[in-house]
Structures are given as C-alpha cells and as structure tokens.
C-alpha cells in the first residue's frame, strides 16, 4: 500500500505525543501498569509487557489532554477490529470539544479509513516482532490540536512500524491507482480532509521501545466555537518550554543523542551531525534534511516535537552510516 501525498504537503504539517488516562489498572507482577482505555483483547505478550501508559496525574506540560495542549495516543489491534477501535478512540479523544456533527462524522470516517489501510502493515509488523523481539510493532492512533491561537486544527495520525516507502527519494507516498482496492480509503481521506493529509517518518509513542516507522495523517480545521474557553496551557517561559521540548524528544527515544547548550537567550539542541535545533526567544528553528529552513512557535510543543522527530528520522534514513534505533 502506497498512500498519496497532497500537493501542499511540503513537509510543513506534522505533530507529537502523550497518553492520557482516566484510572489505572493493576500492574502485572514485575511490570508497569496498563491503562484502562486499552481493551485486554488488544494486547498479547510481549505486546502487553511493551506497552507503558502514563499515570493519571501528568507531571509534564505535554502530558495533558487535547484541551490542555497534549496528545491522545492509544494502541490499535492487529486484526479486523482496528477500524472500529479507531472510531471509538477518535470519539473518546474529541469528547471535550464541541465538534459539529458533520465534522465529527468526517473525522470518525477518516480515522477508520487510516486504521483499515494500515492493517496490512500492522500484520507485517506483528510477523516482524516474532522474528525480532526487540521491535514492539504496536500500531498506534494519535490525536492532538495544532496551533497556538483560536484557529486550531485537529490532527489525527495512525502510526505503524512498516515504513512502506523510500524516504530517500520522496517527501511522501505515491498516489494510489484509481483501481487500487486498498488505496480507495485513502482517497476518501484526501477528499474529506480537503487535501490536508499525508505521510511522514516518525517514531512510536507507546511502550518501552520507541521504534521508527511512519505516520499517515489528516487534519481538520476546528471552528473557534467548538474549542473550550480554557484551551491550552498557561503561559510558561521560553526556558521552561524548552525543557519540555527536550523531555518530549527524550521520551521518543532520542535521549542518548541530545546534546544541549544554553547561551543566554539562545538554546541549542544537537540531535545528530545532521540536525541541530535552535531556540531563540519563543521561536524554534532547524534545517530539514532537504535543506529547507523550518521555523515554529515554541508554544506549539506537540507539533514542534513531531516535526523535529520527523526531521531526525529523515536524516537517519538518508545517512547509510546510521541505523534506526
């Protein structure tokens, strides 16, 4: 399956992580607790052992729900129930937003299509996990709000560990043929999202292993009236937000590669010889592997972190001397 890339993608629309929970289930002996929103049927050893859900009371800024600037993340089953699970999780994630019924229907439909179209990749990832136990192979659905003003977009992504495309020669995935059975669902996504969708390299968010893979996504513009009045986090200093950004990148499995330097009002985060992130005041910037210059508002932490993770994965894929960790 090779999903298409919208013409206006240009690597500018991506996003980032964090599981929100309501109550915690009992932890298995010697293991970490599994959140209640994960149906038992979804999990099978060693997947259950690999999955680690964050505690109910978030200790980090980025660990809040959608309305608090965080990211909703859940595992998807590796069977034909993945589409119905995606629909259920989508409704759960947006329950704090007053979405119009039509917009909710479109979002549920597209989330279902992304999950259904990734089922083949999910099965491949499951077979790979049997051959290589170090690979978690857990498909995931992520939802978060992008933007820093009352004009926000709801971003939904489905992640799997089978990249399925050549990151060295393309910025997205080739368009599916008209007669392609598996590609028609993605064409539905393209239509309902008005072209605001695509695919990019990323890393998983759930579990003890943060493995590389791809995320197929769509975005929906949210009417200001549908947003809660308390949307977003309190205003923190750029220094505090930089600390959170570093923690988010570390949480995605990049902790061992981050070298930080604070120079007055400037902070430098070096992730590899190919990727350096600069924070000057409330602006974050870096140069992507394609050579384009990226600049983002530091306050949009989830999106900023995901953009940087994507740039890191693209740089690693383009460098034959580096192996995905």
Residue 2 lies in a domain: no
Residue 260 has pLDDT above 60, yes or no: yes
**Average pLDDT of 215-234?**
83
204 & 306 share domain:
no
Residue 166 has pLDDT above 80, yes or no: no
Which residue spans within 100-196 are E strands per DSSP?
Answer: 140-146, 152-160
Q: Between these two residues, 136 and 137, which has the higher pLDDT value? A: 137
d(CA 15, CA 205): 12
Residue 46 has pLDDT above 60, yes or no: no
Report the number of distinct structural domains present in the chain: 2
Q: What is the mean pLDDT of the chain?
A: 75
Of 226, 247, 282, which residue sits at a domain end? 226
221 & 293 share domain:
no
Residue 32 has pLDDT above 70, yes or no: no
pLDDT-derived band at 162, boundaries 50, 70, 90 = confident
d(CA 51, CA 67): 24
pTM: 0.75
pLDDT-derived band at 69, boundaries 50, 70, 90 = confident
199 & 141 share domain:
yes
Q: What is the chain's alpha carbon radius of gyration, rounded to the nearest angstrom?
A: 19
Q: What is the pLDDT of residue 322?
A: 58
pLDDT-derived band at 60, boundaries 50, 70, 90 = low
């Amino acid at each position: 399956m090779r999903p298409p890339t919208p013409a206006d993608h240009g690597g500018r629309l991506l996003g980032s992580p964090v599981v929100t929970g309501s109550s915690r289930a009992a932890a298995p002996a010697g293991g970490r607790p599994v959140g209640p929103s994960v149906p038992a049927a979804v999990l099978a050893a060693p997947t259950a052992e690999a999955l680690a859900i964050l505690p109910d009371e978030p200790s980090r800024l980025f660990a809040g729900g959608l309305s608090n600037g965080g990211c909703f993340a859940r595992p998807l089953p590796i069977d034909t129930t993945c589409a119905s699970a995606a629909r259920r999780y989508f409704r759960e994630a947006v329950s704090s937003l007053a979405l119009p019924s039509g917009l909710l229907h479109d979002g549920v439909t597209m989330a279902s299509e992304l999950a259904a179209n990734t089922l083949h990749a999910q099965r491949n990832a499951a077979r790979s996990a049997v051959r290589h136990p170090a690979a978690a192979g857990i498909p995931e659905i992520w939802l978060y709000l992008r933007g820093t003003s009352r004009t926000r977009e709801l971003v939904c992504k489905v992640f799997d560990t089978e990249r399925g495309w050549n990151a060295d020669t393309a910025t997205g995935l080739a368009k599916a043929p008209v007669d392609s059975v598996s590609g028609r669902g993605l064409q539905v996504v393209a239509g309902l999202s008005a072209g605001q969708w695509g695919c990019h390299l990323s890393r998983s968010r759930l579990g003890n292993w943060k493995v590389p893979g791809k995320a197929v996504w769509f975005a929906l513009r949210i009417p200001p009236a549908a947003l809660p009045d308390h949307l977003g986090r309190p205003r923190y200093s750029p220094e505090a937000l930089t600390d959170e950004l570093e923690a988010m990148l570390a949480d995605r499995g990049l902790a061992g590669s981050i070298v930080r330097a604070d120079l007055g009002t400037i902070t430098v985060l070096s992730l590899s010889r190919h990727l350096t992130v600069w924070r000057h005041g409330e602006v974050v910037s870096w140069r992507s592997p394609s050579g384009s210059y990226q600049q983002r508002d530091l306050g949009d932490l989830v999106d900023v972190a995901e953009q940087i993770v994507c740039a890191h994965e693209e740089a690693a894929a383009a460098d034959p001397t580096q192996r995905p960790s």
